[in-house]
Structures are given as structure tokens and as C-alpha cells.
Amino acid sequence: MQLKPYAKCLALALSLAVLTGCASRGGSEDGMAGSADGSRDGAAGTDTSRSGQVSGSRMGDDDARQQADTRIPDVRTIYFDYDSDAIQSEFEPVLTSHARYLRENSSASVVLQGHTDERGTREYNMALSERRAGAVERFLNVQGVSSSQIDVVAYGEERPAAQGNDEDTYAQNRRVVFAY
């Protein structure tokens, strides 16, 4: 549970495209302590390799500050373990960034597209993929996003991201996509 406040902080920082720390944002509704600063946090070292995924912004500081709340987070896919709808901790920052975007843009809405790999029967996989998208929806709800902003479409194994019969391919296909 230590990760969540940090993750929020990191996500926010990345969405600003500058690692200035959450405190500099001021007026945060996250309830995070002002001293929580991603760049100084001891946990940061282990997660910096993923921050590239979460960020990807090339905007200048001023643009970033003005557009932070209106820009849809860049990373829009999270992945799942086999036969699991558990959200892996490494993807919590991604979810948190989307939660923040949706909270601060109440007119925005997202379709959570659930997917499975191709193993097993199609209609059962349809149900599993809905469960994955549902897990993401609950996570967003807990983070204060209104259900009216979220729609879920379960695709099962019908729309694979990658083709093949190996674990790498399967792993790429077990996913939930944020479609805005």
C-alpha cells in the first residue's frame, strides 16, 4: 500500500513531464503529503525504468503545466497474468494517471476494452476479458472516477494485439486498453 501514494505522485509528475515532485503542483486533491517527491523517494530507483513508459511527453514545462489536465495519458494498455484479472502493481501508475485525467475532465469518457489470449473457448474468454476491464473500472472508481465516465466492452480473444502461439504473444494479448 506504500506504492499507491507514490504511484499517484509519480503519475502526476510524469503527466507534467517534469519530475518536480507532487508538492510543486500545489492544490492537489490527492491528499498526498507535500513532501512526497518522486525524485527523492527511496522507491523511485526501482521504478524509474518504467517511468519512460508512463511519460513519453515532449512538451515544454509551460505547455505541460497548462495542458496537464487536458492531455490523455500516453500509456493506454495494461497487461495481465494468465487467467487473472488482478492489476499488477507495475501498472498502478498507469491507472492512476488515467484516474487523474478522468477526475479532472469530468466530460471525458473512456471505453475500457478487455482482451484475453486465444487459449480456451471464445465466449468464456469474452467473460474473462470483461472481468479484467471490470477490475480496471473498480480501480478507477476507488480513485474517484465516476462510473458514468466509464464504459466497458469485452472483446475476449477476438482482437489480438499480436499473432502467434507462444507465451510472448499471449502476454501481449492479455490486456485492457483505454480507448478515449
DSSP 34: T
Q: Does 126 bind another protein (CB under 8 A)?
A: yes
Q: Which is nearer to another protein, 91 or 170 (CB)?
A: 170
Kindly tell me which residue out of 48, 120, 142, 144 binds another protein, with binding defined by CB under 8 A: 120
Q: Residue 143 to residues 13, 97, 102, 103, 113: CA-CA distances in angstroms?
A: 17, 10, 10, 8, 19
Residues 140-169 that bind another protein (CB under 8 A): 152-156, 158-161, 163-165
At closest approach, how far in Å is the CB of 155 from another protein?
Answer: 7
Q: Which is nearer to another protein, 57 or 113 (CB)?
A: 113
Q: Which is nearer to another protein, 6 or 170 (CB)?
A: 170
Distance CA 107, CA 127 (A): 29
Q: Residue 54 to residues 33, 80, 129, 166: CA-CA distances in angstroms?
A: 22, 17, 23, 27
Residue 132: how many other CB atoms lie within 10 Å = 26
Q: Does 127 bind another protein (CB under 8 A)?
A: yes
At closest approach, how far in Å is the CB of 94 from another protein?
Answer: 21
Q: Does 118 bind another protein (CB under 8 A)?
A: yes
Q: Please choose, from the candidates 110, 123, 178, 107, the residue with its C-alpha nearest in 3D space to the C-alpha of residue 155.
A: 123
Residues 50-89 that bind another protein (CB under 8 A): none
At closest approach, how far in Å is the CB of 27 from another protein?
Answer: 36
Distance CA 113, CA 126 (A): 11
Sorted by sequence, the CB contacts under 8 Å of residue 70 that are 6+ apart come out as 105
Query: How many residues interact with another protein (rule CB under 8 A)?
Result: 24
Q: Does 128 bind another protein (CB under 8 A)?
A: yes
Q: Per DSSP, what are the bridge partners of residue 78?
A: 176
Residues that bind another protein (CB under 8 A): 118-124, 126-128, 130-131, 152-156, 158-161, 163-165
